[in-house]
Amino acid sequence: MKIKNLKNRRAQIAETMTWFVATIAVVVILTISILFSSFFFEKDVEVNNIATVDVLASKSLFSYALTEDSSSSSGKKVYEQIKEENSLNKFNGELAKKIFRLYERDYPYLIWLGFPGQENVYFGTPPSMRVGETAISNSDPYAKSTVYAVQIEFYKEGGIIKTLDLLLFKK
């Protein structure tokens, strides 16, 4: 019995040593490859900053756009209604107000939804049109206080792009 236990113990030690050596070999190979690549590639590589996105706002806006109008017989999605009418109607405006005004209680931002440069009855005047606020540049239609902007693009004939913007800006 002792001979059998001794053989089992030797087998276990041999198995453990094999894995130990294999692990050390993998670590050495990885270290060499990392060192080689750090010397081989340029050190002054620019990394582009990735814009931050408010995931909750993005998902909420896209879910809102895919909501079907159950009050009408057509059953069109909010996206289709806005694309056809070029504005917020009673159904999708009230729905947006109900959805996005809920965030203002628990969210550190004020929320505005609409088309750039257009006032609407549900969210009022866009930030860039408010008195006393100045836009960052001519290409930026929003005020300096804007933290996030989520957009849905509507393509129209003639290459003109119209966007529905959800803006979150500091209170």
Confidence (pLDDT) at 27: 96
Axis-axis angle for helices 90-106, 55-65 (nearest 10): 160
Per-residue pLDDT, 18? 94
Cβ pair 167, 146 in contact under 8 A? yes
pLDDT at 148: 67
> pTM of this prediction?
0.56
Give the Cα separation of 78 and 95 in Å (integer).
9
pLDDT tens for the chain, 171 residues: list them.
566 676 788 888 889 999 999 999 999 999 999 888 877 776 665 655 555 567 777 888 888 888 888 877 778 888 888 888 878 888 888 888 888 877 777 777 778 888 877 788 888 877 655 444 444 333 444 445 556 677 777 766 566 667 777 777 766
What is the reported pLDDT for 137?
A: 38
- The residues that bridge with 118 in the sheet, in sequence order, are none
Domain chopping of the chain, boundaries: 1-47, 55-170
Task: List C-alpha distances in Å: 92 to 4, 108, 170.
Answer: 79, 24, 25
